[in-house]
Structures are given as C-alpha cells and as structure tokens.
Structure 1
Amino acid sequence: MITREIVISYMAENYDVQPQFVFKVCFLLHLQQR
C-alpha cells in the first residue's frame, strides 16, 4: 500500500516531477482514505 511518507520521499528524490502528477497522486491517496 502506498503511504503518504513514500510519496513525500519520492517527491523529495524526484523534485522535477510535474506538479500535475503530484497533485493527481495526492488526490488519489485522499480518495483512498475514505
């Protein structure tokens, strides 16, 4: 299962990732928690 810590660490290592992708991942994680 993907946790928020993994996403944050991934974003820290790959900071040049497109903001749209990051927003999409965070949005999907938010929907998963319901």
Structure 2
Amino acid sequence: WIAAVGTAASALSSANAAVALVLVLHAATPL
C-alpha cells in the first residue's frame, strides 16, 4: 500500500515536472 502511494506520488511528480517543462518551453518560444 505504501509502495503504491510512493509510486503514485512519483508518477504525479514526474508528470508535474513534465507539464512545467512544457509550459516553460512554450513560454520561451514565440510560437
């Protein structure tokens, strides 16, 4: 159960980082 929560938190953190990276790249490009 704890491992499942840790995995979910890790996946959420990874997805959040990916979204932040995309937003930064989108903001940095004039497109």
TM-score, normalised via structure 2 length: 0.51
Larger-gyration structure (1/2): 2
1:32 to 2, 16, 21: 16
Partner letter of residue 31 of structure 1? A
Structure 2: where are the runs of 5+ without partners?
Answer: 19-31
Q: How many residues align?
A: 18
Q: Which has the higher contact order (CA 8 A, sep 6+)?
A: 1
Which ranges in structure 1 are unaligned for 5 or more consecutive residues? 1-16
Higher helix share: 2
The alignment's C-alpha RMSD in Å is 1.5
Which runs of 4 or more aligned residues in structure 1 lie more than 4 Å from their structure 2 counterparts after TM superposition? none
Percent of aligned pairs with the same amino acid: 6
